Structure 1
Amino acid sequence: MCGDVRPAAGTRTAEAVCIVDGTVTAIGSIAEVTAAAPQGIRTVHHDGVIAPAFVDSHVHVMWLGRAAGRLRLDDCTSIPQVLDRIRAAASGLPRSSWLLGSAGFDETSLEERRLPTLAELDEAAGGRPMLLDRRGHDGLASSAALHCAGIRDDSPDPVGGHFGRDADGHLTGELVEHGAVAVVSAVVPAPTESQRRGWIRAGLDELVRVGVTCAADPALGIDELAAYRDLYASEDPPVRIVVFPHAPDGSDPEHFRKQVESVGIPEDPDARLSLGPVKLFVDGGGMLGTALRHDPWPGTDSCGVQSTSTDTLERYIAWAAQRRSGLALHTVGPAAVELVLDLLRRPVATGVLPSWAGTGTHLIHAYLEHRAEFAAQAAELGVGVAAQPALSGAAVPSIRNRLGEPAAATLGRLEDWLAHGVVVGGGSDAPGPELSPAAGMALAVGEIGAEAAWRLHTTGAAALLGRAGGCLVPGGPGDLVLLADDPLTAPDDRMTEPDFVRGTVASGRFTTIG
């Protein structure tokens, strides 16, 4: 591959790189690389910049692929628009068929400043059972779906969530957090193994399209892990994937680990499909108003939702400390971050574990009402952070509406984490937020500068996952992205243009974009 080769942020550029059997064998001038290359090797010239491929430390690959065949309401700005799309999608379905989709909006993003009522949802769905996912946390369900799940006005709330009710105690169709969504999800017809593999394959294609060749897919169930195993056993997908198994609240760590191990995915960091940390949801979402805060969310008496009990968190943290293994901890609000850092400190303080560094343990998101002391504590404990500039950017309007401009202006705070030496890995949290790492870089440049923004989505993400990637070195992965311009000098708006990523080389396999 010949062109303007930038091996890593902050390094000199080169002219060419040679990849043999998916591994970089030489990098330097065209003459040097040509001399080192095997005879007859294919040569590709690119007139832009050749850079290390991006790494995404947090992207829901299966959900990304699944989204293409589902009703999408994320961009709706009013309730009539929501209902019209539901009616259109429902019109082609038999009355008994489930209508599934994504409703990533929240009440602050709709003109009416409220969610659709249960009666409105029922009318639009035409009496069909319907479940709409809300940012992977909450849901909206029709009466038929609630009936199928056996949920009534007087049904007790499940552990790790609750059913939305109006002032008179009647169901609203809102399912708050995983515990509530799971009750309805349990009666939705399960996808076939072939469908799951198809979703994964489609999600991987989307990653390659934006220049990502290594990624983590968090929050997977046992059946979903098995679909990954079967796909990677029967095919050779271009993206190296780290999968995070999702541990439910109340589960026993040792029993859960045995279930995961029975799937047969190796923990080997050099494997193309490898097992990563156990994922635990500690709280809800900032845009949903369910992240854990110390004060109630304005207009409510709720400080947020704790999705996993402190007892379960304590068991998993003690278990992980004894095994010296990793945990991926979804923590959005300051009370969730504070709780987790306190619990992670205990094994270190008692000498059970010298540090969490090297285990893969990290906070996920941690963007709401950030405090500088969190960064100092994470650095002291050896705890990393999976950060998503695109998610923080998308959250600004909602947080501004809910908490005001001061809270919206401090979302993310990447600079604090990096200044304290915390390992920070960039990602997207797609679907929902923008998938493109180049777009994520453009959002982060203003706070941390171009080089740090690039490292965030390359070497930083790779380091957080404990995987090779993000730089070009002899013996390293032959993963490249072909860019129209230098990401360290290109204007922010240039990096968000569709033609900024021109192609991807994943393990030596070349894909032209566009």
Structure 2
Amino acid sequence: MTEFAGTSRDRTAKAPPRGTPTTLARVRLGSGGPLARVRVADGTVTHVVAEREDPGAAGLAAGDRVLDLDGRVLLPGLWDAHVHLAEWAGARRRLDLSATSSAREVADRVREHGRTAPAGPVLFGYGFRDGLWSDAPHKDLLDAVLPDRPVALVSADLHAIWLNSACLALAGRGDHPTGLVREHEAHVILSALPEAPDEVVDGWVADACRAAAARGVTGVIDFQFGDTVGAWERRSADRPPAVRVAAAVYPAHLDAALERGLRTGSPIGPHGELVRVGPLKLFTDGSLNTRTALCHDPYPGLEDTGEAYGIEQTPPDELVRLMRRAAAHGVEPAVHAIGDRANTVALDAFEAVRCRGRIEHAQLLSPEDLPRFAELDVVAGVQPRHATDDRDVADRHWAGRTARAFAYADLLAAGARLEFGSDAPVSPLDPWLAVASAVSRTDDGRDAWHPEQRLPVPAALAAAARGRRLIRVGDPADLVVVDADPLTADPDTLRAMPVHATLTDGRWTHGPY
């Protein structure tokens, strides 16, 4: 039997209680805010009272717990509005290739790792970015360093997988010419490879959720490929996760969801206050790094190929059909669109269907499409860390167009609602990295990349909290206490923001309480 390292689920564990009513005393309300008392009970904020007022006005009652937070800053709980949780949980345990700069360097890393890696059916790696490499990924490079053990390396953007011959044979693709597989075929191959048992993966995911809570995260939208709703029904059967979860639906599972009467927001399992159905995930195109994002202009050097403008994942008519069917049953669509042409197609579909929903990524936009997000009530689910990670790739492959790439300030000025995510494992599940990247437009000491697209701190914090700017009576008790004021923090402090405690649904999910 193959051994997998990880945390197994404790099937005897009980759900932690919401706790006794608690007053958070001497806490600053938001970035730069006044000292106040905030009382929570039964998972809800029940009182918000300025510190100078009579303590009795804060609704204190016999038995209330009072915590003195010594002037720390209290913020609305943060969300990661785009994450692949099982992929992220697994990537935290895989060979990290994010710092490699060539196919040869990757092969060398695989050789070294193969000498000490624990036994298992497949050696997995994650994080390579080949968009700027001078050499190309090929199965022969991996065969030369590890011929007898299947090797599967997932690209940083999750849109490609690089396999050696042994792994191609295992996946039934032994005749593949290069071993570099992209887009839908890559997802199919990855899902066919041997995986850790469900209970091990569930333990990894639980660990990842606790780590997210330690960074102030109170909720995520999980876009993990597959039957995400079914996975979360299983995971939440015993105890609630450390964060709220909205589990996406993929087209292959849409019929089953609709037959059950599920819609966006429907509770899942016994902890439905925390685990709910999310949006329907649809794709219009690929990604920037693989040069498959669908654009109005051709990619340099690919002008004479069949994919000069990227690829179209879902034809417009089919996109409209799927969106219309889902929306008619209360399932909101979330449409992956990276290139400018893909975003136009996605917005056209929203205009045809007239439903609420999201566009995921929105990385390159035509100027005339900017106001359409607000006009059509479409959320822009964006990942600011991608702007700093991919600036060099964008400068090469979107040369002359990057003034409208990752255009967060322009979107905000046009009235769009921004929601931040990480796309983990594409970037780490840490909302403070997104906030810092949005505010600074750099993360490596270089000058800001297109500084005109920087966001002010309050706007970035709101986008990281799904639009919540204030803490008000009646809000869910999803709160984060931090040791530094984001409004006055420099970008380095924002990235490493010290999180004192996190409260989700009235339960402490991180901190000393």
Which band: TM-score by shorter chain?
Answer: 0.7 to 0.9
Q: Report the AA paired with residue 37 of structure 2.
A: A
Runs (5+) with no aligned partner, structure 1:
154-162, 164-170, 348-354, 461-468
- Would you say 1:450 and 2:492 are equivalent positions? no
Q: The residue matched to 1:91 in structure 2 has which SS? A: helix
Q: Which residue is 1:479 aligned to?
A: 478
- Counterpart-to-counterpart distance in 2, 1:55 and 1:492: 20
Match of 1:38 in 2: 61
Give a deviation string over 1:284-310, Cα, whole Å, max 9, x none: 111221111122211123211222343
1:91 paired residue among 112, 115, 139: 115
Q: Deviations over 1:79-136 (max 9, x none)?
A: 443223212332346888211221332241x4xx233321111122332212211122
Deviation at 1:280, TM superposition (A): 0.8
Q: Quick check: 1:59–1:428 contact (8 Å CA) kept in 2? A: yes
Task: Flag the 1:423–1:267 CA change in 2: closer, same or farther, 3 A.
Answer: farther
Hey, what does 2:4 align to over in structure 1? none
Against the structure 1 CA distance between its residues 193 and 267, is the aligned structure 2 distance closer, same or farther, given a 3 Å change threshold? closer
Give the letter aligned to residue 343 of structure 1.
A
Aligned to 1:419: 413
Distance 2:477 2:55 in 1: 14
Q: 2:449 aligns to what?
A: none
Q: 1:237 to 1:184 in 2, by over 3 A?
A: closer
Residue type matched to 2:223 in 1? P
Amino acid of the structure 1 residue aligned with 2:484: D
Indicate if the aligned counterparts of 1:58 and 1:386 stay in contact, CA closer than 8 A.
yes
* SS across alignment from 2:65: coil
Q: 2:2 matched to 1:6?
A: no
Check conservation: 2:438, 2:455, Cα contact below 8 A. yes
Q: How far, CA to CA, are the matches of 1:105 and 1:388 in structure 2?
A: 17
Cα–Cα, structure 1 residues 410 and 378, in superposed 2: closer, same or farther, change >3 Å? closer
- 1 CA distance for matches of 2:418 and 2:278? 16
Q: Deviations over 1:140-173 (max 9, x none)?
A: 11111212233254xxxxxxxxx6xxxxxxx111
What residue number does 1:373 align with?
368
Amino acid corresponding to residue 173 of structure 1 in structure 2: G
Of the candidates 279, 282, 285, which is equivalent to residue 284 of structure 2? 282
Counterpart code for 1:362: R
Distance 1:509 1:29, change over 3 A: same
Residue identity in the other structure for 2:507: R
CA contact (8 A) 1:73 1:103 kept: yes
Pick aligned residue for 2:144 from 120, 123, 126:
123
Q: Distance in 1 between matches of 2:103 and 2:140?
A: 12
Structure 2 CA distance for partners of 1:309 and 1:121, relative to 1, 3 Å: farther
Instruction: Report the equivalent of 1:430.
Output: 424
Offset of residue 256 of structure 1: 6.3
Letter in 2 for 1:53: G
Letter in 2 for 1:427: G
- 1:204 paired residue among 202, 209, 217: 209
Aligned residues: 465
**Please, what TM-score do these two structures have when normalized by structure 2?**
0.83
Percent identity between matched residues is 28
Give a deviation string over 1:348-383, Cα, whole Å, max 9, x none: xxxxxxx42xx3x11100112x22211222222222
1:201 to 1:94, Cα distance in 2 relative to 1, 3 A: closer
Change in CA separation of 1:2 and 1:455 when aligned onto 2, cut-off 3 Å: same
> What SS does structure 1 have at the residue aligned with 2:492?
helix
Decide whether the 8 Å contact of 2:80 with 2:219 is kept in 1.
yes
Separation of aligned partners in 1, 2:87 and 2:244: 17
Is 1:27 matched with 2:41? no
Residues 265/144 of structure 1: CA separation in 2 closer, same or farther (3 Å cut): farther
Matched, 1:56 2:56: no
For the pair 1:395 / 2:390, whether they are aligned, the reply is yes
Counterpart CA distance in 1 for 2:26 and 2:389 is 35
Mapped partners of 2:66, 2:393: distance in 1: 49
- 1:408 deviation in Å? 3.6
Residues 494, 94 of structure 1: alpha-carbon distance in 2 compared, 3 angstrom cutoff: closer
Give the secondary-structure state (helix, strand or coil) at the position aligned to 2:489.
Answer: coil
Does residue 1:383 correspond to 2:390, yes or no? no
Residue of structure 2 aligned with 1:185, choices 190, 194, 214: 190
- The answer on whether the counterparts of 1:283 and 1:305 sit within 8 Å (CA) in structure 2 is yes
Query: What is the DSSP-based 3-state SS (H/G/I as helix, E as strand, rest coil) of the residue aligned with 2:48?
Result: strand
Aligned to 1:463: none
Instruction: Tell me if the contact between 2:294 and 2:340 (Cα under 8 Å) persists in the aligned partners.
Output: yes
User: Does the 8 Å contact 1:214/1:241 carry over to 2?
Assistant: yes
The one of 225, 230, 235 aligned to 1:226: 230
Q: 1:140 is matched with which residue: 154, 162, 171?
A: 162
> Does the CA-based 8 Å contact 1:2-1:46 persist in structure 2?
yes
Give the corresponding residue for 2:243: 239
Output the TM-score relative to the length of structure 1.
0.83
SS at match of 2:241: coil
Residue in 1 that maps onto 2:444: none
**Which amino acid counterpart does residue 285 of structure 2 have in structure 1?**
D
8 Å CA contact 1:284, 1:305 repeated in 2: yes
Letter of the 1:477 counterpart: P
Counterpart of 2:6 in structure 1 is: none
The question of 1:307 aligning with 2:341 is answered no
Could you say if the C-alpha distance between residues 234 and 267 of structure 1 is closer, same or farther in structure 2, counting changes exceeding 3 Å? closer
Amino acid at match of 2:86: M
Q: After superposing the two structures, state which structure 1 stretch, 25-34 or 479-488, moved more.
A: 25-34
Cα drift, residue 22 of structure 1: 2.5
What one-letter code is carried by the residue in structure 2 that aligns with 1:137?
H
1:98-113 correspondence runs (5 A): 98-108=122-132, 110=133, 113=134
Distance 1:173 1:37 in 2: 65
2:11 maps to none
- The correspondence for 2:502, drawn from 494, 501, 504, is 504
Specify the code of the residue in structure 1 equivalent to 2:395. R
Distance 1:151 1:256 in 2: 32
